[in-house]
Chains A and B, each alone.
Chain A
Amino acid sequence: MERILEQIPRFFSGPNMILLLESAGLTLAMTLMGCLIGFGLAFVLVYLRQTPGLWALPLRLVCILYVEVFRRIPFIVVVYLVLFFIQTVTPNASLFTIAVIAICLYAVAYTADIIRGGLESVPQAQVEAAQAMNLSRLQTNLRIVLPQAWPVIVPPAIAFAVSFIKDTALVSQVGVFELTFRGKELNNQGYSGILVFGTIALCYFLMSFPLSMLGQYLEKRLATPRGQRRSRKIWFT
């Protein structure tokens, strides 16, 4: 205990804090970029997966296979696969890029099912009303289905991203200078493990908590019937 107290002033020194802040930023950037790109691609995947007609059967199978396979692989294995694959193709790709790609691949598989569930929660009658007016499949999805599916999609999608902030600790295994990696480094420099990882834990909490709050806020807001909202011109209408 005394050792910890004695280390505190040295540990919370400028250079260490900058290191931690940098790696926290890296963790956050990696997660957000990976999840946002993955979320966007997941929409494309779901749209392709819903392509009707016999000719699109192989396409649908590929989409289903992708989701089912990636959901059954541990994230760390995806990270290693991406690492070795990318390094074979372009040897000087940065570790950050590799981490983002791995997160992205994983996020696509998970959020695709969240999105599909959301789209399927909109009654078929809404789709038929749009079809009867000659709206195309894309128009029906963008104008009718998706706006109504947001309340179902957004909360679990944010929950996924929040939990993923923690899971990115795994990419420290391949040497990305994210938060957990820095923790190990500082620990190796002789700082108390309790002190170091306590601080790291706090950092993770400070990154996830606001996002969780945002998720809860959106969940409440989206669940309010439209007519009761004060402002109607919100971005997803």
Chain B
Amino acid sequence: MPHLAVNDVRAKYGSLEVLKGINFSIEKGEIAALVGPSGSGKSTVLRALMGLTPITGGEVDIAGETMNYSSAKEVRAARDRMAVVFQQYNLFQNMTVMQNLTLAPLKIKKWDKSEVMTEARRLLGLVGLSDKADAYSDQLSGGQQQRVALARALALKPQILLLDEVTSALDPELVNEVLDAIRKLADEGMTMVIVSHEMAFVREVADKVVFMDAGQIIEAGTPAELFDTPKTDRARDFFSKILRH
């Protein structure tokens, strides 16, 4: 039984079908990377999983439970099991780093306060920002904000972590500090679905690569299979263009 199974998920923006039946699955502790050209629907898959873009068909198995996002209750249940990190960090501007990390664990999950605080401090240590607990996001660099966002997602103790182009908005020299933090999570066995343009990083950490184009999965397999011996012309064309440099 896979930890996450996406079964024929479909989504529309108005009359435009942006996801045309997406299927993939990963086991516990595995990392799937969604790659493909801009507008191919990679980020929409993550948004659909979080219930931010309504799905119009299909269902998702999360840790053995099947959900079709058809009711507010199901959407809440799905969100309860996953956490997402956005490209633009989306830290709450009116809160300190610590408040960002503890808001949902305290107010939504209603976990014990002292445990939440201890865990939040541990996570800030994990992403190397122990000294920034009382800072506001406008006092942090992009890379620091993104690491806070990562810690905030982890504070929810998600069964699956979704990362949406988390390094795309960063200055090149700040990319590595974020990738290092994600590597640590991979080593800890966190199940993740990542959307990324960092192909070297994908090859290094991903167990499965899913290549998408125009709202469909064109090809999926191990990083070696897709990067070195793609079966479809579309994938060969895409990877030959972006792996050249």
Contacts and interface: CB of A to CB of B under 8 A. Distances in A.
A227 B94 CA distance: 10
A9 interface: no
A132 B52 contact: yes
Interface of A: 125-126, 128-135, 139, 143-144, 147-148, 225-227, 232, 237
B50 A148 contact: no
A70 to B, nearest CB: 31
Contact of B90 (A126, A134, A148): A126
8 smallest beta-carbon distances between A and B, as pairs: A129-B90, A133-B104, A147-B94, A227-B139, A227-B136, A226-B136, A125-B90, A225-B138
Contacts of A147: 94
Given A131-B79, A139-B107, 18 more contacts: A125-B88, A129-B86, A130-B92, A133-B79, A133-B156, A134-B80, A135-B103, A135-B104, A139-B108, A143-B103, A143-B107, A148-B93, A225-B136, A225-B138, A226-B138, A227-B138, A232-B96, A237-B94
Contacts, number: 61
A199 B79 CA distance: 64
Interface residues of B, number: 25
22 contacts: A125-B88, A126-B93, A128-B52, A128-B86, A129-B92, A130-B92, A131-B79, A132-B52, A132-B83, A133-B103, A133-B104, A133-B108, A134-B79, A134-B104, A139-B108, A143-B103, A144-B92, A147-B94, A148-B94, A226-B93, A227-B135, A237-B94
Nearest to A130: B92
Nearest to B104: A133
Contacts of B136: 225-227
B231 interface: no
A135 B94 contact: no
Interface of B: 50-52, 76, 79-80, 83-84, 86, 88, 90-94, 96, 103-104, 107-108, 135-136, 138-139, 156
B50 A132 contact: yes
Contact of B108 (A126, A134, A237): A134
Nearest to A139: B107
Nearest to A226: B136
Nearest to B92: A144
A136 to B, nearest CB: 9
**A129, A131, A143, A227: residue with the most chain B Cβ atoms closer than 10 Å:** A129
Nearest to A136: B108
Contacts of A128: 52, 86, 90
Contacts of A139: 107-108
Contacts of A148: 93-94
A225 B137 CA distance: 10
B181 to A, nearest CB: 18
B196 to A, nearest CB: 19
A119 to B, nearest CB: 13
A214 to B, nearest CB: 22
B94 A131 contact: no
B195 to A, nearest CB: 15
